[in-house]
């Protein structure tokens, strides 16, 4: 709900972007020609999409954000060529998904809501497992694995009960559509 642009009501989602830095490669690596001084500031966040929808509405989020995500994926493997000062320059796009809150991560990665026994969005820990092990954790959950688990949830190939199936898919109950990479 934060960022520049018009004020939005409570039940709204603002999907924004920030240009963090621009680098030019040279013989010795690369030279940074721009770096956002305050990357966490709401002032540098440019709204890409404002939607009047509840972020818990998986179908609406999927319908509106899927084309944006598809475009972002296409841009990752393409180059922008611009002529600057009579010299042709190539630009590549690198995207970092940050600023997702837990509720949105759970929604776009197809996970059950925060009341789920599968407490972590980064691993398969249940509330009980997490409470017994407060030290050794690792990132074991991935977007592709969540997609596979969704297919298992949808098809139920082993004809399991709801509880058995839920345990097998570790809290995945909707189709994931945005890959949220953890960053530290």
Convert the pLDDT of each residue in 126-171 to its tens digit.
Answer: 989 888 887 777 888 899 999 999 999 999 999 999 999 999 999 9
DSSP track, 129-148 = HHHH-SS-------HHHHHH
Output the pLDDT for position 184.
47
Output the pLDDT for position 151.
97
67/64 Cα distance (integer angstroms): 7
Name the helix (H) or strand (E) containing 34.
Answer: strand 29-35
% helix / strand / coil in the chain, to the nearest 5? 30, 20, 50
Across the range 105-132, mean pLDDT stands at 90
Across the range 4-19, mean pLDDT stands at 74
Between residues 18 and 153, the one the model is more confident about: 153
Q: How far is CA 117 from the centre of its chain?
A: 22
Residue 119 has pLDDT above 70, yes or no: yes
Q: Under 8 Å CB-to-CB from 108, ≥6 apart: which residues?
A: 61, 65, 100, 176, 177, 178, 180
68/49 Cα distance (integer angstroms): 9
Residue 5 has pLDDT above 80, yes or no: no
Q: Fill in the DSSP letter of residue 7.
A: -
Are 122 and 74 spatial neighbours (Cβ–Cβ below 8 Å)?
A: no
Share of the chain above pLDDT 70, in %: 92
Output the pLDDT for position 39.
79
- Closest by Cα among 36, 56, 54 to 46: 36
């Amino acid at each position: 709900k934060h960022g520049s642009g018009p004020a939005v009501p409570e039940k709204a989602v603002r999907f924004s972007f920030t240009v963090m830095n621009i680098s030019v490669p040279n013989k010795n690596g690369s030279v940074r020609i721009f770096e956002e001084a305050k990357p966490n500031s709401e002032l540098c966040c440019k709204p890409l999409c404002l939607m009047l929808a509840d972020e818990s509405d998986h179908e609406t989020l999927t319908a509106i954000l899927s084309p944006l995500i598809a475009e972002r994926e296409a841009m990752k493997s393409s180059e922008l060529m611009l002529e600057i000062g009579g010299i042709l320059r190539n630009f590549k796009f690198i995207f970092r998904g940050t600023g997702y809150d837990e509720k949105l991560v759970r929604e776009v990665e197809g996970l059950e809501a925060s009341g789920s026994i599968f407490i972590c969005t980064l691993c398969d820990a249940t509330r009980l497992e997490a409470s017994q092990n407060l030290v050794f954790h690792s990132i074991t959950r991935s977007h592709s694995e969540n997609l596979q688990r969704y297919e298992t949830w949808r098809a139920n190939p082993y004809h399991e009960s709801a509880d058995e199936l839920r345990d097998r898919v570790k809290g995945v109950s909707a189709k994931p559509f945005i890959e949220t990479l953890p960053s530290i």
